[in-house]
Amino acid sequence: KKMKKILILALSLFLAGCMVTKMSETSGSYKTISSKEAQQMIEDNKDALILDVRTAAEYESGHIPNAVNLSNEDIQAGKVDSLKDKSQLIMVYCRSGNRSRQAAQKLAELGYTNVVDFGGIQSWQGDIEK
């Protein structure tokens, strides 16, 4: 009987731990929009930070005007000191959309509350500056 109580308690603690882990995994959220929607958002929000998460070499080869470069690798490592305002609108893009999704998720997990992923520069219809 005592063993049964211990087993039930252990199972309860295990399940509670799983629920807490699951909740923390989804605590950070971000929004995903199309590049066309992003163009409009950038026009409407002049103080938005446009974040290019490609490598420095990719950024130099051509980027969206006024975009700031901070590689996905640095974001994954938590090197985000340059992003001071956690409530600022941060609009993230990469080459095809994979790294921007990873970076947006990581930023949300780090407590940034206004993160928007608009995929890859490949689908960008606006200006590109070199």
Active centre residues (catalytic): 94
CA dist., res. 59 & res. 69, Å (int): 7
Residues in a beta bridge with 117:
32, 92
Own/partner pairs for 55-58, CB < 8 Å, 24+ apart? 58/95
Residue 95: both structure tokens together: 């080459």
CA dist., res. 112 & res. 55, Å (int): 22
Say if CB 69 and CB 28 are below 8 A apart: no
DSSP code of residue 130: -
